[in-house]
Structure 1
Amino acid sequence: MQSDPPNAAKAASFNQNSLAVSQSRAFAGAAFMVLGGVAFSLLNVVTQWLTMELAFPSASTAFWQYAFAFLFSLPFLRKAGLSAMRTNYPWRHVVRVVFAALGVEAWVSGLASVPIWQAIALVMTSPFFIILGARLFLGERVGPVRWAATAVGFAGAMIILQPWSDSFTWAALLPVLSALLWGASSLITKSLTGIEKPETITVWLLVLLTPINGGLALAAGFAVPTGAALALFLLAGLLTVVAQYLLTLAYASADAAYVQPFDDLKLPLNVLAGWLFFGYAPAGYFWLGAALILGSSLFIMRNEMRREREVA
């Protein structure tokens, strides 16, 4: 039985429009992720300048960064209205932000101790912690291929860390700890992107991070910025809002498995930033370890995309 020509034409037109929309959303997701990577690279430079060059305490650095970020988000919150804060999943937001806050503390402390290129490469082990978490806490099946890719990624991290060398310090593990904590936060974030608006996810993060980081800063000895430090914190707060929102938009625009590889561009971006602002030149072994981390991460993402297509 032949199709009715008008209906066939409508179907073809619908398919073409759907393809165009899909491609548009994919491009938007990739663009948001890349722009977010640029913003995070600049933020890392500012954070390391505060902690290394100006010797500002790490815990207070985390507090002031997100306190100013919250202030910058107030006009956005006013525009969005109180409805942006409404959610049926408050405890999921709370747990997510607690993990994120602890990850921030570990990350800022790490930037006070190790070069940007080393810190950013090690924090890129986060996808491997997400896989482990999905298996342990979400009951997802993790096949031998993903286990092998995860092992390769961690091997790359060990090459960069070199815990067997005399130059190794325990502070070098702080970016890995932040990757673990942010991986846990990302698992919850991904579960929220399908049921919450990007504005809600972003605002809850900013609202809760400030008091949590404030308590940690008080416990470590509170410091108040002045002069150049105050100006840098204002810049850090603005970059934090922009970067977080771009990241949320990226996941809301396209599938996580698609946009995640574009997030890997933060490695060369941060290496370039560290070289331009601090003169950091990665050692030769770094590139081998980074290649293993990047390669395994991209392999996992491509494998996830293929699995999703097969299911669809």
Structure 2
Amino acid sequence: MAELPRGSTAALAPGLDRRVLLGILLMCAAGTLFPVMNGLVQVLSRTYPSEQIIWARNTGHLLIVLAVIVPRYGFAVLRTVRPAAQLSRSILLLMSTAMFFFGVKHLPLAQAGSISQMAPFFVALLAWPMLGERIRPSRLAAVLIGFLGVLVVIRPGTDVFHWASLLIMGSAFCYAVYQIFTRRVAGLDRPETSVMYSALVGTLVMCAVVPFAWKTPESATDVLLHACLGALGASGHYCVARALTYAQANVIAPFQYWQIIGSVIVGWFVSGLLPDLATWIGAGIIIAAGVYIAVTASRGAPRLR
């Protein structure tokens, strides 16, 4: 969709309005699918080792991608101009998934979901040294406010602080660096190549690890839940990718924070717990700062050369 000139009051054509609405709905759908997946992780973590759950998440995702992409493009889709960057992306995504899955079994889902929203703040900070994109003082202030919101959620130094919060923070950092590497390969490799590599290395690594931690599923229901992890993850990422084809990133990015609300709802179904007041306040601060960063992204700053 073409970008309107800054400050323009011209109305979008009705067809474009519908595309923007579809993009928003798809981003909200992703924000629902990911918490459902994370809720299943919490349920399965009561019985099965995290290594097995991570393996199921990556392998299921890869099998779905193979079924969709290979018949159309063949295995030539694995050819990449930037193999080191693609491998780095896949390793970072595996690290992000592993830290989140190990951490979320110890934390309320809403708290984990709120902390995971640190990723956009890390991206804003890392874009300057890694991509040469300047960060304006106002956006830097928003980043700092976002980190303040995270501190309100995790409350270090108090009785409610849990070390697993640091794993979720590490997960958000790895995911932010993954996004930076994704932007580096964008335009050099086809999107299908990046999608393939996202799950490939994680699957290969976890296939080597899972035999040492394997526990045979106890029922057909547990087999289905394992299989759903990859399907939910792949569907969520597909919704995000499609949303970005219908509307500008700065328009739909604020709706990614629906994931926090989704985490509250799913967390209540899984554990019967609702966030305490401090978590609500911290999540509100995170959302406000994140929305500011998202809506100002298209007014962007000059690049260093």
Q: Give the TM bin, normalised by the shorter chain.
A: 0.7 to 0.9
Q: Flag structure 2 segments of 5+ consecutive residues without an equivalent.
A: 1-9
C-alpha displacement at 1:159, in angstroms? 0.6
1:26 corresponds to 2:17: no
Match of residue 31, structure 2, among 37, 42, 52? 37
Do residues 78 (structure 1) and 70 (structure 2) align? yes
Q: What does residue 44 of structure 2 align with?
A: 50
Structure-2 residue corresponding to 1:208:
201
TM-score, length of structure 1 as denominator length: 0.85
Aligned positions of 1:143-154 closer than 5 A: 143-154=136-147
Deviation (angstroms), 1:193 = 4.3
Q: What displacement does 1:36 show?
A: 1.5
2:52 aligns with 60
Deviation per residue, 1:151-200 (Å, 9 max, x gap): 10000100110111023221121111100000111122234444544433
2:132 to 139, 154, 157: 139
Local SS of the residue matching 1:244: helix
Aligned counterparts, 1:1-312, within 5 A: 19=13, 22-51=16-45, 53-54=46-47, 56-82=48-74, 83-217=76-210, 221-226=212-217, 227=219, 228-307=221-300
- Equivalent position amino acid for 1:189 in 2: T
Q: Aligned equivalents of 2:187 and 2:27: distance in 1?
A: 18
Structure 1 pair 47–38 and aligned structure 2 pair: CA distance change class (3 A): same
Hey, which bits of structure 1, 4+ residues long, moved more than 6 A? none
Distance change >3 Å, CA 141–CA 204, structure 1 → 2: same
Given residue 293 of structure 1, which amino acid in structure 2 is its aligned partner? I
Deviation at 1:238, TM superposition (A): 1.5
Shift of 1:75: 2.0
Cα drift, residue 105 of structure 1:
0.5
What is the aligned-residue identity percentage? Answer: 25
Distance 1:23 1:187, change over 3 A: farther
- Partner residue of 1:13? none
Decide whether aligned partners of structure 1 residues 63 and 214 sit closer, same or farther in structure 2, where only a CA change above 3 A counts. same
Separation of aligned partners in 1, 2:133 and 2:188:
20
TM value normalised by structure 2: 0.86
**Contact 2:81–2:188 at 8 Å: present in 1 too?**
no
Cα distance change, pair 179–28 in 1 and its aligned pair in 2 (3 A): same
Q: CA deviation at 1:287?
A: 1.1
For the residues of structure 2 that align with 1:22 and 1:108, how far apart are their CA atoms? 38
Q: Deviations over 1:6-45 (max 9, x none)?
A: xxxxxxxxxx998556545433332321221221121111
> Which deviates more, 121-130 or 21-30?
21-30
Contact 1:202 1:244 in 2 (8 A): no
C-alpha spacing 1:278/1:46, structure 2 compared with 1 (3 Å): same
2:40 alignment partner AA: V
Alpha-carbon distance between aligned partners in 1 of 2:278 and 2:11, rounded to the nearest angstrom: 48
Q: Deviations over 1:137-162 (max 9, x none)?
A: 22221121011101100001001101
Change (3 A) 1:130 1:73: same
Decide whether the 8 Å contact of 1:47 with 1:61 is kept in 2: yes
The 1:27/1:193 distance shift into structure 2, 3 A limit, reads: farther
Q: Separation in 1 of the partners of 2:160 and 2:14? A: 53
Moved more, 19-28 or 116-125: 19-28
CA contact (8 A) 1:198 1:249 kept: no
Q: How many residues align?
A: 289
- Paired residues of 2:49 and 2:215 also in contact (CA < 8 A): no
- Helix, strand or coil for the counterpart of 2:285? helix
